[in-house]
Amino acid sequence: MKSLHNYIIPVLALALAACSQSGSQTDDIEKKIDHLLSQMTLEEKIGQLHQITSMGTLEDMCAQAKDGTIGSILNEIDPERINQIQCAAVEESRLGIPLLIARDVIHGYKTMFPIPLGQAATFDPAIVEEGARVSAAEASADGIRWTFSPMLDVARDPRWGRIAEGSGEDPYLTSVMGAAMVKGYQGTDLSNPASIAACAKHFVGYGAAEAGKDYNSTNIPMGQMRNVYLPPFLAAKEAGMQTFMSSFNDNDGIPATGNRWLLTDLLRDEWGFDGFVVTDWNSAGEMLNHGFCADMAEVAEKSMNAGIDMDMMAFAYTSQLADLLKAGKVKQSQIDNAVRNVLRVKYRLGLFENPYIDLSLRDSVMYAPTHLAAAKKAATESAVLLKNDKQVLPLSQNVKRVAVVGPMADAPQDQLGTWTFDGEKEKTITPLAALRQLEGVTVNYAPGVAYSRDRRTDGIAKAVAAARQSDVVLAFLGEEAILSGEAHSLADLNLQGAQRQLVAELAKTGKPLVLVVMAGRPLTIGDEVDKADAVMYMFHPGTMGGPAIADLLWGAANPSGKLPVTFPKMVGQVPVYYAHNNTGRPAYGTETLLHDIPLEAAQTSLGNTSYHLDAGFHPLFPFGYGLSYTTFEYGQPQLSASTLGEKDTLTVECQLTNTGRYEGTEVAQLYVRDHHGSVARPVKELKRFQRVSLQPGETKTVTFELPVEDLAFYGADLTKKVEPGQFSLWVSGDSQSGQPTAFAVE
Ligand code: NOJ
């Protein structure tokens, strides 16, 4: 093995890194790949298609790298070891092909940003892009050049633990946030050693798991697939996405990893994707469990024929491809093509020129002050104010004694959220720590319950006593990080443990009660909202959650987040989402509820509309909802034309006024309804949004440009087009308010 001084990256090579790929660079890369392919043995080719997790001894991995029998390693994060394994690949293997080192860097590497659902609540693609850029800088300083992010799964069921990892229920919001992440990770120059390749996952439909149970089957019909689940992936591809990951689920009986229509006809032929496709962890092997393949040979055959380039941890290609080739079940050209796709991304990443990590960078990059500042900004913008009766927030300067209670007040690991592999709880600033820094404020800390699932009630009396001695009660509730994320689905979305009891007892004190809820998903907190004076929802906010919360509570910052997902009143309402179809009997008028039904009532189609008798028409909080300490008033939108052609662009102008006492930022949302179509259309669809900052009393004109082609959808014939007709348009602060303005497309 070489000594480490050989690994220092020549500064000149960095400076020469190209800004973007020109046509000649592309040709150049393809020529280099041709040249390499012409020299590769079958074993070396199959090696490029094989990804292992960091396993065995360092010597084992170096030996495999030297033999050219692996193309990528995930979960190796020791930079010195990475340099050594890379050295074996680059300097000791026959052809010197570098390895691609991968990791799940989902919402930060060391500096943890809010979980992706929280980032989506910012409705701020710029901060999301910055977060991904920070993640790339930190991860690459440890040698990681490929992240399995963003998760682009539209998720309409909060029971599904992985709702935490995406941007919520809306295809447009998910598309915008996903594209922002791709730009952040990959930068303007993928060959910059501080850029990392992104991965669009999970392709596709994984978020529609039946009953919100992870890994469960999905049954998404093609119209919904095209109109709801696929658009974020296409947007990511258009943003330059380098890799896609096939999902675990079977849709209508076909596991994604074996779905040729998805991975070849659509992704390659229709969309023109030229990066590579990796399986999810052993998702190829799991085709045996699905009952879609009889043995590993069939697994490898179906994967290759579907369009899988790289196998993550099923060992299907290494164990089967050579025999399949001999038997004529896969073609040499298919294998070559898959290798070409993998090598193309390696070239674009500049790995052939700069395979090693500059170990001197690490200390100045991790937790850099600018990274922490960006994480704090993201956490601040992610806060959604759900209730603020009598303007209890922001807390007045007269508040001198605060009771700090609840299991999330000082839970440094849990506030980081799911997929925190590398962020350290020692670096987390909790709300308790941040509040204790405030001058002139006495903190009476009594958690009441020790952790979110804690069912013991013996600590509640102390929390109540702290409340009685204080001017205000700040209750930090929610769920531990481990209750959401992969394989952590729930059937009950109430606050866990004795938290509900804690809130009930605190409410009885009559002290102003402020709830700060930190969770990985929407929780059914209706009762607690009723009991509290103010409620601020933070999806797990990351390293800087504490200082962000302190600023928000005392008014140094004003909440501006909006819900990226509908909050149900009770689990039985899910899936509940704003962009539902109207149905033949839409809910309207008076709600007849369960207890309104007379005894022994005669059989009737009571109310005649589509809703639950025990939940009524509405969710707890709608998509897009979020208050501010100030108030905003929307004018009626002015449209550039009331009738448009298919090639026109509609300009929408709307006056937005800050009618309250504080400076604030509002997320103005533009929704459209297409009244009739060849298929039934959603009652509303988000088409644009904009964060607008206003001083008290200030009015701004918010302008949106909406090309009519953005109203196109896949109709009855499954082609995408604009169907002429009547439309309604709203500009409002959430998905349920505002008055419609009509226009037509001819
Ligand atoms: C399984 C998860 O589904 C996927 O999101 C992740 O990237 C891989 N494991 C690798 O850790």
In sequence order, what are the beta bridge partners of 721? 713
The residue written with tokens 């592309």 in the block is 26
Name the β-bridge partners of 513.
Answer: 473
Q: Which atom, in ligand 1's list, is nearest to the CA of 75?
A: 11
* 653-687 pLDDT, tens digit each: 999 999 999 999 999 999 999 999 999 999 999 99
- Strand 250-251 and strand 699-707: pairing? unpaired
Mean pLDDT of 106-117: 98
Q: Ligand 1 centre and the CA of 95: distance in Å?
A: 30
- Residue with structure tokens 């087009």? 721
Q: Is residue 18 predicted with pLDDT exceeding 90?
A: no
Strands (E), 265-326: 276-279, 311-312
Q: Residue 452: count other Cβ atoms within 10 Å of its Cβ.
A: 24
Is residue 440 scored above 60 in pLDDT? yes
pLDDT at 450 exceeding the cut of 50? yes
Which of 615, 599, 597 has the alpha carbon at shortest distance from 607?
Answer: 597
The C-alpha angle 676, 678, 682, rounded to 5 degrees, equals 50
The closest of 565, 136, 524, 554 to 380, measured between CA atoms, is 554
Distance 281 CA to ligand 1 centre (A): 6
DSSP per-residue string spanning 241-255: --EEEE-S-EETTEE
Which residue among 55, 100, 104 has the greatest number of ligand 1 atoms within 8 angstroms of its CB, and so is best to mutate?
104
Label residue 706 by pLDDT band (50, 70, 90): very high
Q: Under a CB-based contact definition with an 8 Å cutoff, are residues 76 and 139 in contact?
A: no
Q: 186: which DSSP letter?
A: H
Q: Is 723 in the pocket of ligand 1 (CB under 6 A)?
A: no
Angle 23-39/332-348 helices, nearest 10 degrees?
Answer: 130
What pLDDT was estimated at residue 8?
39
The residue among 5 and 191 whose pLDDT is bigger is 191
pLDDT band at 606 (very low <50, low <70, confident <90, very high): low
Average pLDDT over residues 254-277: 98
Name the closest-CA residue to atom 1, ligand 1.
Answer: 281
Token pair listed for 652 = 């929408």
Residue type, 38: S
Closest atom of ligand 1 relative to the 202 alpha carbon:
5
Fold of 46-358: TIM Barrel (3.20.20)
pLDDT > 80? residue 10: no
Sheet holding 100-103, edge to edge: 146-147, 100-103, 72-74, 50-53, 311-312
Q: For residue 485, report the distance from its CA to the centre of ligand 1, in Å.
A: 11
Distance CA 279, CA 258 (A): 10
pLDDT tens-place string over residues 37-83? 999 999 999 999 999 999 999 999 999 999 999 999 999 999 999 99
Phi, psi of 458 (to 5 degrees): -70, -10
Q: Which residue type, as a one-letter code, is found at position 196?
A: I
Pick the atom of ligand 1 nearest to 149's CA.
7
Angle between helices 369-382 and 125-141 (to 10 degrees): 140
Half-sphere exposure of 363 (CA within 13 A, CB side): 1
The DSSP code for 693 is: E
Ligand 1 centroid–CA 145 distance in Å is 16
- Protein residue with least CA distance to atom 11, ligand 1: 104
Residue of 157, 280, 410, 454 marked active site: 280
Residues 6+ apart with CB under 8 A from 632: 656, 657, 658, 659, 660, 664, 666, 694, 733
- Which residues make beta-bridge pairs with 668? 690
Most informative mutation of 74, 245, 484 for ligand 1 (most atoms within 8 A of CB): 245
In short, whether 148's Cβ falls inside 6 Å of ligand 1 is yes
For ligand 1, say whether the CB of 486 is within 6 Å of any of its atoms. yes
Residue 14 has pLDDT above 50, yes or no: no
Mutation choice for ligand 1 from 103, 199, 201, CB with most ligand atoms inside 8 A: 201
Question: Residue 2 above 80 pLDDT?
Answer: no
* Mean per-residue pLDDT, 310-320: 98
How far does residue 314's CA lie from ligand 1's centre (Å)? Answer: 13
Ligand 1 mean position to 529 CA, how many Å? 35
**pLDDT tens for each residue of 359-383:** 999 999 999 999 999 999 999 999 9
In ligand 1, which atom is closest to the CA atom of 248? 3
d(CA 614, CA 592): 9
Place of tokens 């009930």: 504
First to last CA, the chain: 70
Closest to 244 in 3D by CA, of 328, 320, 345, 364: 345
Q: Is the CB of 104 under 6 A from ligand 1?
A: yes
| Structure confidence at residue 23 (pLDDT) | 84
Q: How far apart are CA 727 and CA 706, in angstroms?
A: 13
Does position 3 have pLDDT exceeding 50, yes or no?
no
Q: How confident is the model at residue 289 (pLDDT cuts 50, 70, 90)?
A: very high
616: left (phi over 0), alpha (psi -120 to 50) or beta: left
Please say if the pLDDT value at position 1 is more than 50: no
CB of 201 within 6 A of ligand 1: the answer is: yes
Whether 740 has a pLDDT exceeding 90, the answer reads yes
The number of helix segments (H) and strand segments (E) in the chain equals 22, 27
What is this structure's pTM?
Answer: 0.97
* pLDDT for 24 beyond 90: no
What is the domain partition of the chain in residue ranges? 46-358, 372-553, 577-618, 632-745
Rounded (5°) CA angle 343-344-346: 60
The separation between CA 692 and the C-alpha centre of its own chain, rounded to angstroms, equals 23
Nearest CA to ligand 1 atom 7: 148
| pLDDT at 502 exceeding the cut of 70 | yes
Average pLDDT over residues 187-206: 98
- What distance in Å separates the CA atoms of residue 417 and residue 432, rounded to the nearest whole number? 17
Residue 20, pLDDT > 90, answer no
280 lines ligand 1 (CB under 6 A): yes
Report the half-sphere exposure of 6 (CA within 13 A, side-chain side).
Answer: 11
The residue whose CA has the least distance to atom 4 of ligand 1 is 280
Cα separation of 196 and 186, whole Å?
5
> What are the residues facing 32 on neighbouring strands?
none
Share of the chain above pLDDT 90, in %: 95
Measured at the CA of 480, the angle between CA 477 and CA 482, to 5 degrees, comes to 160
Residue among 388, 402, 472, 405 at smallest CA distance from 437: 402
- Does the bond joining 431 to the residue before it have cis omega, within 30 degrees of 0? no
Closest by CA to 255, choosing from 228, 281, 218, 226, is 218
Q: What are the DSSP E strand ranges found in 552-698?
A: 632-634, 638-639, 643-644, 649-658, 664-674, 685-694
Residues in the chain: 746
From the CA of 201, give the closest atom in ligand 1. 5
- Does 103 sit in the ligand 1 pocket, CB within 6 Å? no
pLDDT given for residue 607 in this prediction: 64
Which ligand 1 atom sits closest to the C-alpha of 312? 10
Beta strands in 176-274 (DSSP E): 199-203, 243-246, 250-251, 254-255
632-745 CATH fold? Immunoglobulin-like (2.60.40)
Measured from the CB, is residue 129 less than 6 Å from ligand 1? Answer: no
- Dihedrals phi, psi of 333, to nearest 5 degrees: -65, -30
Residue holding tokens 């010195």? 80
> Catalytic residue at 153?
no
The model's confidence at residue 222, banded by pLDDT at 50, 70 and 90, is: very high
- pLDDT at position 7, please? 41
Give distance in angstroms: CA of 284 to centre of ligand 1.
13
Residue 171 has pLDDT above 80, yes or no: yes
Does residue 4 have a pLDDT over 60? no
Which protein residue has the closest C-alpha to ligand 1 atom 3?
Answer: 280
| pLDDT reading at 19 higher than 60 | no
Element (H, E) at 197: none
The domain at 372-553 falls in which architecture? 3-Layer(aba) Sandwich (3.40)
What is the tens place of the pLDDT at every residue in 579-592? 999 999 999 888 88
The mean pLDDT value of the chain amounts to 96
Please determine, for residue 707, whether its predicted confidence score (pLDDT) is greater than 70: yes
Q: Which amino acid is at 185?
A: Y
289: three-class secondary structure by DSSP: helix
Judged against a pLDDT cut of 80, whether residue 567 lies above it is answered with: yes
Is any atom of ligand 1 closer than 6 Å to the C-beta of 244?
Answer: no
How far, in Å, is the centroid of ligand 1 from the Cα of 280? 6
Q: Are 302 and 250 in contact (CB under 8 A)?
A: no
Q: Find the 8 Cα to ligand 1 centroid distance in Å.
A: 31
